[in-house]
Structure 1
Amino acid sequence: MKQTLLLLLSICTLQSFAQKNINGEMTINGAKRIYIVHLPENYSQSVNYPLVLIFHGGGGNAAQMQNFMKMDPIADREGFITVYPQGLNKHWNDGRELDQKVSSNDDLQFVEQLLDTVSSHYSIDKKRIFSTGISNGGFMSIFLSYKLSDKLLAVAPVCASIPEKIYGEFYPKQPISVLIINGTKDPLVPFEGGIVGNSLTGGRGNCTSTDNTIKRYIGVDGTATNPKSVSYPDNAPFDGCTATRYEYNNGKNNTRVVLIKITNGGHTLPGGSQYLPKFLVGKVCNDFKGNEEIWKFFKESNAK
C-alpha cells in the first residue's frame, strides 16, 4: 500500500511538471491567495533554476500578466521559472496611500510564504530570485526591494518609482540591483513625481520622481554617481519615442543601478502591446523588447 501511494505521488508530480503551467493557492490571514507557476521546457529537479516573480498592474490578474508580459517563451529558452502572484481585489499593497481594502492586505507575508512554498516544491536557486512588474506591480517590486533585499538579487520595476509615503524610510538592509524603465510622458505615474492616477482612476497615492528614486538606490548600493549612458537605436521612428540607458556600476556586493528612460514614453512596456488608447496610457516604445531587457539584466546580475 505504501509503495502504491509513493508511485501515485510520483506520477502526480511528473504530470504537474509536464503541465508547465501550475495553478496554486494558499491561505493568508483567512484569505485565499492564488498564483501561477510556469516551469521551463525540459524542467529537471536535478537543476537549480533562477526564479522571476512577475506582478500584475492594478485591476489586472495573474493570467492577464502572464499573457501581457510574454516572459514564458524567454523562460523556456533561457531556463528559469516564472511565478505570477495575484493580488486581492486585483491590487497590491505596495507602500502607497491606498484605500482600506488594499492597505489592509498583507501582501508581504503572501510573497514570503509563496517563495517558501515554491522553493519547497521546485528546484530553485535561492541566490537568484528576482522581481518585476508594471505599474502597481512595479511599485510592488520596489516595495519588495526594500523589505526583502536579503532574498532578492535584483528587481526591475516598469512604470513605477518609490512611493512618497515610504521614501524617508526607504533604506533596504542589503544593497540590491535595480533596473527601472519609465516613460517621461507617463500620464499615470509622473516621471517627475506627484499624484499617481488620473481623473478616471482617482488618486492612487503619491510617488517620488524617477530621478530621486535612482538617487536613493545609488546611495543604498554605493554605485558610481556618474552613469555610463547609451542611446538605443531608433528602430521604430514612427512610434514617437526614443530610449536611453543610464548605468551606475560598481556598487557594493556587485550591485548596479540602471535607468532606461523612454523619452515621450507612456504607461507602457517597451515592445509590449498598446493595451489601451494612447490618450489614456500614452505611447509604446518599440525600439527594444522590455521583457528581453529585463531578463538580460537579471541574467547579468552577479550574486551578492
Structure 2
Amino acid sequence: MAPAERLPSRARPSSSRAALRLPALLGVLLLGVLGPLTGCGGAARGGPDSLRAGTTTVHLTSGGHDRTAHVHLPRSAGRDAPLVLVLHGGYGAGAQAERSYGWDALADEQGFVVAYPDGLDRAWNSGGGCCGPSARDDVDDVTFLTSLVADLQRRTSLDPRRVFVAGMSNGAMMAYRLACQSDVVAAVGAVAGTISPQTDCPDPAPVSVLAVHGTADTRVLYDGGSSTVGSARVDARAAPEVSAFWRGVDGCAAPVVSTAPPLTTATATCPQGRSVELVSVARYGHEWPSPAGSQTPHGEPVYTGWDATAALWDFFAAHPRP
C-alpha cells in the first residue's frame, strides 16, 4: 500500500475556524432538557434554563437535525469548572460512552463537567468518508460540537480556557477534526484514532494532544493504511505520523521516549506549556485501556494495567489554554 501523503502545510491559508465561530455562538436553538435534575449544586449560572447538579439530556438543533448530549454536572463543580467532551466510537452512543469509560466518577472527584454528545445514526463525520450516514450526508459535526460548548458555557459556569475533548475510535477521529477546524478546545485525548489523509487540516490552532493506540489495532491501523469496520472504510495515517504533525503545529522539541512494557510513551514539550504525547500499547488492539476492562465487544483483550481515563484527565488538567 502506498505511504500516506503528508498532511497539508500549516502555511496554507484557511478560514475554517473563523467561519465556525459564528454558528458556534449563534446557531443553537435549545429545544428542551430531559432527565433527572437532582438538587441545585454544581456550576449552575442561576438562569431559568441553567443546568443543575446531576445528569441531564440536552437537545440542540444543528444543521436542521435534533442533536442530543448527556451532560453530567457534579455537585463538586464550582464556578469556572473545566468541561470534557467525550465522543463515542462508531456504532456507539453517548450513554454507552458514559457507562464504559468511568468519566462520571472522576468528574465527581475532580469537579469538572463532562458531556457525552450523540453522533447521528451512531457515527461521526470525522473526515475522509468516515463514518456511516453522517459522512455520507456530510453532517456538520464540528458546528454541532462547537454549538454544544457555547450552549453549555451559557447555561453553566465553565472556564473557556479548560475545554477538552476525548474520543474513542471514530470519536477520536472526530476529536482531531474538531481541533483541526475550530479553536474551541485546549487539549485533545484520542484513543485508537487517526486523521484520514483526506481530512482537511491545513492550519489548526496549537493544541496539546495525548494519543493512545494499540500497535495490534486491526480497525484503525497503528502503522497506517486502509481497513474495513462493518460498512465503514477507515483510511488511517500512522499514529507516529499524526503525533509528528501536531508537534509541527505546536513547534515542539523532539520527543523523549520512555518504556514501561507494554507501554511506550513519546513525550514532546512545546512552547507555552503545551505537550504532544503518544502512548503506544504493544500487542494490544482496538481498545480503551482500563483496570476495569476485560475484553472488547469483538473479543480482544483490554490492557488492565493502565487507566486511560485517569491519564487523559491528568493530561487535560495540566494543559489549559495558555
**8 Å contact 2:179–2:204 — kept in the other structure?**
no
Q: 1:231 aligns with which of 259, 263, 276?
A: 259
Deviation track 1:134-171 (CA, whole Å, cap 9, x = no partner) reads 001110111111112x22100001001111112xx524
Deviation at 1:273, TM superposition (A): 2.7
Counterpart in 1 of 2:248?
219
Q: 2:318 aligns with which of 289, 295, 300?
A: 300
Deviation at 1:275, TM superposition (A): 4.9
Task: Identify the structure with the greater helix proportion.
Answer: 1
Please tell me the residue identity of whatever aligns with 2:246.
Answer: Y
**8 Å contact 2:181–2:201 — kept in the other structure?**
no
Please tell me the residue identity of whatever aligns with 2:212.
Answer: I
Which consecutive segments of 4 or more residues in structure 1 shift more than 6 A?
10-14
Give the greater-gyration-radius structure (CA): 1
Deviation track 1:242-301 (CA, whole Å, cap 9, x = no partner) reads 11211011x233221100010011100111534535xx3633111211100000000111
Pick closer, same or farther for the CA change 1:300–1:100 going to 2, 3 Å.
Answer: closer
Report 1:173-192 matches (<5 A). 173-192=204-223
Counterpart in 1 of 2:281?
262
Alignment gaps of 5+ in structure 1: 1-9, 235-241
**8 Å contact 1:189–1:267 — kept in the other structure?**
yes
Answering whether residue 30 of structure 2 is matched by residue 30 of structure 1, we say no
Cα distance in 1, alignment partners of residues 122 and 57 from structure 2? 17
Deviation at 1:208, TM superposition (A): 0.6
Aligned length: 275
Counterpart in 2 of 1:153?
186
Please tell me the residue identity of whatever aligns with 2:168.
Answer: I
Deviates more, 1:283-292 or 1:265-274: 265-274
Identity of aligned residues (%): 28
Q: SS of 2:198's equivalent?
A: helix
Pick closer, same or farther for the CA change 1:208–1:17 going to 2, 3 Å.
Answer: same
Cα distance in 1, alignment partners of residues 140 and 108 from structure 2? 32
Answering whether residue 17 of structure 2 is matched by residue 17 of structure 1, we say no
Deviation at 1:231, TM superposition (A): 2.5
TM-score (norm 2): 0.80
TM-score (norm 1): 0.84
Answering whether residue 197 of structure 2 is matched by residue 164 of structure 1, we say yes
Deviation track 1:194-251 (CA, whole Å, cap 9, x = no partner) reads 11334xx1442301111111111111111012x222233x6xxxxxxx11211011x2
**8 Å contact 1:171–1:220 — kept in the other structure?**
no
Counterpart in 1 of 2:36?
none
Cα distance in 2, alignment partners of residues 90 and 121 from structure 1? 26
Answering whether residue 160 of structure 2 is matched by residue 126 of structure 1, we say yes
Cα distance in 1, alignment partners of residues 201 and 144 from structure 2? 21
Counterpart in 2 of 1:3?
none
Counterpart in 2 of 1:237?
none
Counterpart in 2 of 1:243?
263
Pick closer, same or farther for the CA change 1:275–1:91 going to 2, 3 Å.
Answer: farther
Deviation track 1:50-74 (CA, whole Å, cap 9, x = no partner) reads 1000000001111011011111111
Q: SS of 1:269's equivalent?
A: coil
Cα distance in 1, alignment partners of residues 242 and 131 from structure 2? 24
Q: SS of 2:221's equivalent?
A: coil
Counterpart in 1 of 2:118?
86
Q: SS of 1:152's equivalent?
A: coil
Cα distance in 2, alignment partners of residues 186 and 146 from structure 1? 24
Deviation track 1:10-31 (CA, whole Å, cap 9, x = no partner) reads 69768x514x101100112321
Answering whether residue 81 of structure 2 is matched by residue 49 of structure 1, we say yes
Q: SS of 2:69's equivalent?
A: strand
Q: CA RMSD in A?
A: 2.1
Cα distance in 2, alignment partners of residues 218 and 11 from structure 1? 41
Q: SS of 2:204's equivalent?
A: coil
Q: SS of 1:291's equivalent?
A: helix
Deviates more, 1:172-181 or 1:96-105: 96-105
